[in-house]
Amino acid sequence: MTGADVGLALGEKTAWNKGYGTETAKLLLDEVFRQLNLHRAEWWTYAENNVSVQLAKKLGFKEEARLRDAVFFDNRYHDLVVLGLLKQEFESIRAAAGTSNSETTVSYLQSP
């Protein structure tokens, strides 16, 4: 295995906009790249989910594809956005943030 799909959902609205998704995603990426030593991670989301798209981009993901009308849900079609992050990009972000290998990933980017 060389890659992983990354995803998370905070269903409880009282947990939104508190940085939990950002911190969880950082820990997940640390697991993907540091512990599992995978080459890439993918983030799939609905195109209209701007919060998810912006979080992925903030973490260093780059938009790689947009799949038009890819999912039929709630009585209509939705576009999907696929974003990717390579291990070398992840490591560059960590290095630029001054986070050493022994430090936790949670601090590698500033929370909102």
pLDDT on residue 6: 64
State the CATH architecture for 3-107.
3-Layer(aba) Sandwich (3.40)
Per-residue pLDDT of the chain (112 residues; tens, 9 = 90+): 677 666 667 777 777 777 888 888 888 899 899 999 999 999 999 999 999 999 999 999 999 999 999 999 999 999 999 999 999 999 999 888 876 554 444 444 444 4
- Locate 30 and state its tokens: 């640390």
**Cα 65 versus chain centre, distance:** 15
What pLDDT score does 110 carry? 44
Number of other CB atoms surrounding residue 11 within 10 Å: 6
The predicted pLDDT at position 85 comes to 96
Distance CA 104, CA 107 (A): 6
Structure letter (DSSP) for residue 50 = H
